[in-house]
Chains A and B, each alone.
Chain A
Amino acid sequence: MATSKFQALWNHPAGPKTIHFWAPTFKWGISIANIADSTKPPEKVSYPQQIAVTATGVIWSRYSTVITPKNWNLFSVNVAMAATGIYQLTRKIRHDYFSEEQAAMAKE
Chain B
Amino acid sequence: MASFKAFLNSPVGPKTTHFWGPVANWGFVIAGLVDMQKPPEMISGNMTAAMCIYSGLFMRFAWMVQPRNYLLLACHASNESVQLYQLSRWAKGQGYLGGEKDKASSQ
Interface on A for B, CB 8 Å cutoff?
Answer: 18-20, 22-23, 26-27, 29-30, 32-34, 36-37, 40, 44, 46, 48-49, 51-53, 55-56, 58-60, 62-63, 66-69
The answer for the CA separation of A19 and B65 in the assembled complex, in Å, is 9
**Chain A contact residues, majority secondary structure:** helix
In the complex, are the beta carbons of B44 and A59 less than 8 A apart?
Answer: no
Say whether A26 contacts B57, CB under 8 Å.
yes
The answer to whether B61 touches A48 (Cβ under 8 A) is no
* Contacting residue for A30 out of B31, B34, B51, B64, CB 8 A: B51
Residues of B within 8 A of A37 (CB): 44, 46-47
Query: How many of chain B's residues have a CB under 8 angstroms from any CB in A?
Result: 34
Give chain A residues whose Cβ lies under 8 Å from the Cβ of B18: 63, 66-67
A56 near B25 (CB under 8 angstroms)?
A: yes
B66 touches A18 (CB 8 A): no
Asked if B17 CB lies within 8 Å of chain A CBs, one says: yes
Q: Tell me how far the C-beta of A89 lies from the nearest C-beta in chain B, rounded to whole angstroms.
A: 13
| Given A37-B47, A55-B27, A67-B66, A23 and B35 contact (CB-CB distance below 8 Å) | no
Task: Enumerate chain B residues within 8 angstroms of A52, measured Cβ to Cβ.
Answer: 24-25, 27-28, 30-31
Question: Which of B21, B31, B49, B65 sits near A46, CB closer than 8 Å?
Answer: B31
Minimal Cβ-Cβ distance residue in A for B26:
A52
Select from chain B the residue with minimum beta-carbon distance to A65.
Answer: B17
Residues of B within 8 A of A48 (CB): 27, 30-31, 34-35
Is there an interface contact between A29 and B31, defined as CB atoms closer than 8 Å?
A: no
Residues in chain A near residue B51, CB distance under 8 A: 30
